[in-house]
Amino acid sequence: MTPSGLTAPSAIPVFSDSRNVSKFLAKGDPLELLAQELGPKFLDYRKRWDLAKSFKRIPPFPLHVDYEIKSLCNLRCPICPMATRKGPQNPISLSVTRIKELIDEGTQYGQASMGFGGLWEPLMSNDLPELIAYGREKGLVEAMFNTNGLLLTKNVSRDLIQAGLTRLMVSLDAVSPQTYAQMRPGSDLNQVEDNILNFIAQRQKAKSRLPLLRLSFCLTKINQSELLPFLTRWETKVDFFSLQSYGRFDDKAPALFPDDSAYTAKPSGRCAQPFKRLLVRHDSQVLPCCDLSGLSLTLGHESQGLRQIWNAPPISKLRDKLKNSPLADLPAACQKCQSKFEA
């Protein structure tokens, strides 16, 4: 992919395009590296993932489940709905005990991966290492999450590595303090960069190839001039990059679309998220995806059991629409999600 006016440093190849994320190689193919480290169980899981993604086989249970433990974030970035959140912190959270029960249910029926997606900053919880270790011991092949990196201290890095995290994704989005301050107000670029380097050092100390480290760059008109310096700065240090398209999450959100969006993947194909994954939110609502547009697509309450929700009419109807219907017949949230680039 060579967008107009941009040349990728060192011809960094794109190895995977999804509907709104392009992944760039930095060192080697992450899936191959994970296969080397995690063995046949990983290959089997990815085979089931590809079958689900191509609508060929719906697994008996979501292959990946995200647990949004709390509804908290330490930043208010303009690219996120949290930016407009006011009032007291939401005290409701998913308990460690309940998440472990959900993992027990999942590993019984073929769940292979866990994450901490949703609308929050996962490092606001101290329970991640315990939950990751529990999930991996129970047989989950992968454990992963995205973070803004501000709370990724040396000790946190050490604990996550020891617990068996397999992928860590840090959203960085800039190289200059001025641009970073606009993308991530309230954060500290030097601190986050140090945290990332300390994480790499801790992984070396543990003599571990995992967790793989991905840096993410959400392309907006604020930071578009820093994409190539960003890739150049980090390409020898991290395992891979992702370039994410800005999705305007509601009508009040700023129009931050970049001037030249050619570097970002265009939506292509049909969304297969509800064929592969579920998200359990802090208030126990269950959703079919982690996309910010999909926060209204509630499928049920986790107390019903995830297997029951996975096989119930609401998600079956959604899958049918996503697979067979034109854009105009999809739920409003999906229409908005699929047409991000048209704004």
Closest separation in Å from C-beta 291 to ligand SF4: 4
Span near ligand SF4 by CB under 6 A; candidates 82-90, 193-201, 226-234, 284-292 = 284-292
218 binds ligand SF4 (CB under 6 A): no
User: With binding defined as CB under 6 A, does residue 52 bind ligand SF4?
Assistant: no
The nearest distance, CB 26 to ligand SF4, in angstroms, is 26
Query: Can you tell me which of 288, 306, 310, 340 binds ligand SF4, judged by CB under 6 A?
Result: 288
Name the residue nearer to ligand SF4 (CB basis): 24 or 275: 275
Q: Which is nearer to ligand SF4, 164 or 247 (CB)?
A: 247
User: Applying CB under 6 A, does 293 fall inside the site for ligand SF4?
Assistant: yes
By CB under 6 A, tell whether 291 contacts ligand SF4. yes
Binding of residue 20 to ligand SF4 (CB under 6 A): no
Q: What is the 3-state secondary structure (H, E, C) of the chain?
A: CCCCCCCCHHHCCEEEECCCEEEEECCCCHHHHHHHHHCHHHHHHHHHHHHHHCCCCCCCCCCEEEECCCCCCCCCCCCCHHHHCCCCCCCCCCCHHHHHHHHHHHHHCCCCEEECCCCCCHHHCCCHHHHHHHHHHCCCCEEEEEECCCCCCHHHHHHHHHHCCCEEEEECCCCCHHHHHHHCCCCCHHHHHHHHHHHHHHHHHCCCCCCEEEEEEEECCCCHHHHHHHHHHHCCCCCEEEEEECCCCCCCCCCCCCCCHHHCCCCCCCCCHHHCEEEECCCCEEECCCCHHHHHCCCEEHHHCHHHHHCCHHHHHHHHHHHHCCHHHCCHHHHHHHCHHHC
Distance in Å, CB of 131 to ligand SF4, minimum: 24
CB of 81 to ligand SF4, least distance (A): 14
Convert residues 305-334 into a mask of x (bound to ligand SF4 by CB under 6 A) and - (unbound).
----------------------------xx
**Closer CB to ligand SF4, 26 or 289, in the complex:** 289
Site string for ligand SF4, 234-273 (x = CB under 6 A): -------------------------------------x-x
Binding residues for ligand SF4, per CB under 6 A?
271, 273-274, 288-289, 291, 293-294, 333-334, 337-338
